[in-house]
Amino acid sequence: MAALGSRPGLVSIIGAVALLVLAGLAYVGSANRVLQLGYEISALQTEQKRASDLNAKLRVELTHLRRPERIEAEARSRLGLVRPDPERVVVLR
């Protein structure tokens, strides 16, 4: 340690190199994190696109399923229901 004390310039150089190494490691670590986040964003965007496409498909299907003609056809075929005679219908007001 006495040799380092007798050379103040050497201590400064070693300190500067150590700081540069730490700065380099910090840069590489942050660049790696940015890369990881980029991959994660890309995966999430793909997932969002799939969910959006599925949502659009389900909305079209829901519109089809809510059609009165389809509901009536299902009631007739699955449940055996029939339309009542008009004279049996009572309208309440």
The string of pLDDT tens digits covering residues 66-87 is: 999 999 999 999 999 999 999 9
First to last CA, the chain: 104
Q: Residue 5 pLDDT more than 80?
A: no
How many angstroms from the chain centroid is the CA of residue 12? Answer: 50
Cα gap 13→21, rounded to integer Å = 12
Q: Which alpha helices (H) appear in the chain, and where do they start and end? A: 2-5, 8-65, 68-79
For residues 64 and 58, the answer to whether their CB atoms sit within 8 Å is no
Cα gap 83→17, rounded to integer Å = 91
* Tens-digit pLDDT profile for residues 53-70: 999 999 999 999 999 999
